[in-house]
Amino acid sequence: MRVTFNSKFNQGLDGILNTQKRLLRAQDQMIKQTKILTPADDPSGSAKVLGVGQNLSQLSQFEKNGIAVKNNLGVEETVLDSIRTAMDRARVLALASGNGSYSESEREAVAAEVEGIQQQLFDLMNSRNVEGGYLFSGFQDGVQAFSLDASTGKYVFNGDDGQKALQVSPGVTLPVNDSGKNVFDSVQVRPQPTAAVIAVAGPTNAAVNVINQQVFNSFYINNYDKAVAANNTFSVELTAPSDYQILRGGAPLVPPVIGAYTSGQSINFNGLDIVINGPAGAGRVDFDLPAPEKTNILNSLSELMAALRTPGPVDASFQASVSKAVGEIDGASTSVASARSAIGGRINVLDSINGSNADLEILATQYQADIAEVDFSKVIADLTKEETALQAVQQTFSSITNTSLFDFIR
């Protein structure tokens, strides 16, 4: 068969181009460090690499979320620790002032320190997180958590009870904050009976004070009636000739609570000290159980300062105010301790999840390498082989294309 010049030229050129293509492929594998340059190289392996890549991207995002969660929780834990320290100091001051030996100037000095603690707590309760948002405002982190309502003189919460959260693993989402409504604004106000009211003429004056808060708290919990308001009104009725009986909602208690009445002498009733002055035989004094109320530590300290700055000798009313403040400080401290405990639990869960995610990332990376990572010793050998082949085919092409009919004429 006759071989034309064009056939020889085209065959030589094709050989060069094919060899160059193989050489470039080997170079690309070396540069990109993968043996799958296009999905056509290994359709199944390419799909697996894509899936593993998505998994690694997800694990990377979980890692970033975990860092954000830990940073925010770390800030909150530090703030709560400072708040608890300040509360403990306020409790010590309240207890010390309640011993009855402080003069007015000493009580004023205590009130001034309590005021400083209140301002410190106000600043801490309005702390910001690592992104600059208010730490305890719930979802509304652009709104200051607590502020002073000038019209009422009360500190109020401005956020909501939401908890922002980030996903740290396929099945676990962790809160990154706690709402100030739950941590600080849910302190149960220690129940106190309302002021005594002379409902039926006879007594000249009357007073009702708590002398045993624990006993009264138990009585309050068991007897406050949310459904029937009248059942929250208790009365001391003076009966002839010189007795008293206690009523609830206008009806005698069962079993009846009765006793001998002497003007100015205490009547003890479920942790209450009831003192009535006036003649025996007729009259009635009423007092009510108040509705349950919640407050925050800032308002509790305001009430404590007001009691400390009230002029005059220490009396039962002052002692009741101090006892109330101590109880509410204890309630606030318990709430803060619970929040800190919850944060510690979240951090422990996060550390465990981060360890699992790191292990999964190592396994996924190894699997991806097994599928697609280039074997450097093999690709270097291929590269050398193709370079040698290209040189050979180029030399052969040059020899063939330089041959002509005149070379055979002698």
Question: Half-sphere exposure of residue 88, counting CA atoms within 13 Å on the CB side?
Answer: 8
CA 269 to chain centre: 42
Pair of tokens at residue 194 = 């309302």
pLDDT at 62: 82
pLDDT in tens, 158-216: 999 899 999 888 888 899 999 999 999 888 888 889 999 999 999 999 999 888 888 99
Work out whether strand 154-157 and strand 165-169 pair parallel, antiparallel, or are unpaired.
unpaired
CATH 3.40.50.2020 describes domain 56-188+314-358 = no
What's the pLDDT at 247?
96
Domains of the chain by residue range:
56-188+314-358, 197-292
CB 374 within 8 A of CB 30: yes
Written as tens digits, the pLDDT of the chain (410 aa) is 555 555 655 555 555 556 556 555 655 555 555 655 455 455 555 556 556 667 777 878 888 888 888 899 999 999 999 999 999 999 999 999 887 788 888 999 999 999 999 999 999 999 998 888 999 999 998 999 999 999 999 999 999 989 999 988 888 889 999 999 999 988 888 888 999 999 999 999 999 988 888 899 899 999 999 999 999 999 999 998 999 999 999 999 999 999 999 999 999 999 999 999 999 989 999 999 999 988 899 999 999 999 999 887 777 778 878 888 998 999 999 999 999 999 999 999 988 888 877 776 676 666 555 555 555 556 565 556 656 655 655 566 566 556 555 455 54
Helix (H, G, I), strand (E, B) or coil at 266: strand
Structure tokens at 381: 């050998």
- Tell me, what's the pLDDT at 231? 95
Would you state the pLDDT for residue 63?
A: 87
- Report the pLDDT value the prediction gives residue 371, as an integer from 0 to 100: 56
Residue at 259: amino acid letter: G
The single residue listed with the structure tokens 């009580």 is 107
Q: What is the DSSP string of 156-218?
A: EE-S-S---EEEEETTEEEE----HHHHTTTEEPPP-PPPPEEEES--SEEEEEES-HHHHHH
Burial class (CB in 10 A: 0-12, 13-18, 19+), 395: exposed
Cα 137 from Cα 157, distance rounded (Å) = 8
pTM reported for the whole predicted model: 0.70
Tell me the pairing of strands 258-260 and 251-252: unpaired
Residue 108's nearest CA partner among 313, 309, 319, 325 is: 309
Which residues touch 331 (CB under 8 Å, ≥6 apart)? 187, 188
